[in-house]
Amino acid sequence: MEIHATRDVLDVRDASVASSTFDDVNLSNTRFHNVNLSAAVIEKVNLSNSKIEDANLSNTLLRNVNMSNVKIESALLAGMIVNGVSVKDLFEAYESANRAGEE
């Protein structure tokens, strides 16, 4: 199926569109619910002002991303590495510095 140069609103449910390609597509204000994007390649994407909830991002690589003003809440961060540094180590150093400042 091909959809080219159209401005329709799609309602896709209980469907498989695996191995599809989306290029130069406006999906702003679109809702994705119960969607499997495992092994997807997501490049040159604008996710600003988006909300991602109940997502499994394990073993995901984020490269060359703008994460300014990003908030991470109630997240499992085990094994997470930011710019080559373990997040666990960062939190431990932060807590240690705070304890030293309180003394």
Mean pLDDT calculated for residue range 14-32: 94
Which range marks the domain in which residue 40 is found?
2-101
Q: Which long-range contacts (CB under 8 A, 24 or more apart) does 93-97 make?
A: none
**Is the full-model pTM beyond 0.95?**
no
Give the pLDDT band (50/70/90) at residue 69.
very high
CATH number where 11 lies: 2.160.20.80
Q: Residue 34 corresponds to which amino acid?
A: N
CA–CA dist 68, 48 (Å, integer): 10
Hunting for tokens 């991303």 — which residue is that?
65
- Given a cut of 90, whether residue 80 has pLDDT beyond it is yes
Report the domain count for the chain: 1
Q: Residue 97 corresponds to which amino acid?
A: A
pLDDT for residue 1: 85
Cα radius of gyration (the chain): 19
pLDDT tens-digit series, residues 54-65: 999 999 999 999
Structure tokens, 62: 């984020």
